Amino acid sequence: MNEGAALDAEITEIATRGAAALAGLMVTSAWERVKPRIAAMFGHKAESVSEELDETHAELVAAQEGDSESAAQSAQGEWAPKLRRLLAGNPAMVDELRSILDEFAPEPPEEATTVYHNELKNTTVHGTVLQVGNAGKVVHTETVNGNLNF
C-alpha cells in the first residue's frame, strides 16, 4: 500500500470512528465540551458547523424516546463524510480528532476471551469428537475411551 492510500485508509477509519463517537457523545453530559472542539476543527466554518451539530444533537435527543439506534446511524452517516472531507483537506486535523476521541470516547478494550471447558467422563464415543474454539483452535479425536477434558 502506498503512502497516499495508507493516509486515505487512516482518514476513513478515524472519520468513521469520529462520527460514531459524535453520535454517542451528543447524548451525554460531555457534549457541551466536545461540540466547540469539533466545530473549531472546521476553521472559518466553525459557526455553521456548530449549528449543524446542534441540529443533529436535537434529533438524537428527540429520538431517545423512540428509534434512537436509527437516529444514531443517521447521524453517523451524516458526519462521517464531513469529517473525512475535513481530514482529507487538512491531514493535521487527524491528530486533533484523535486527541478528542482519546479524551472523550476512548476505544473499548479488546473483548476478553471466553473460556469454555468441556469434559467427557467415563465415556465411550465411537465416531468423531470435534471442538472448535476461538482463533481457530481445534480439538479433534476419533474415538474416546475414558476421560477427555478440553
Q: Which residue ranges make up each domain of the chain?
A: 7-104, 119-149
Q: What is the pLDDT of residue 21?
A: 93
pLDDT band of residue 9 (cuts 50, 70, 90) is confident
User: 35-85 pLDDT, tens per residue?
Assistant: 999 999 999 999 999 999 999 999 988 887 777 788 889 999 999 999 999
Q: Could you tell me if 72 and 23 are in contact, meaning their C-beta atoms sit under 8 angstroms apart?
A: yes
Distances (CA, A) of 73 to 2, 41, 69, 77, 115: 31, 22, 6, 6, 33
pTM here? 0.67
Q: Please choose, from the candidates 119, 116, 148, the residue with its C-alpha nearest in 3D space to the C-alpha of residue 135.
A: 116
Distance between CA atoms of residues 71 and 92, nearest Å: 30
What is residue 90's DSSP assignment? -
What's the mean pLDDT in 112-133? Answer: 61
Q: What is the pLDDT of residue 120?
A: 63
Alpha helices for the chain (secondary structure H): 3-25, 31-41, 46-63, 68-89, 93-104
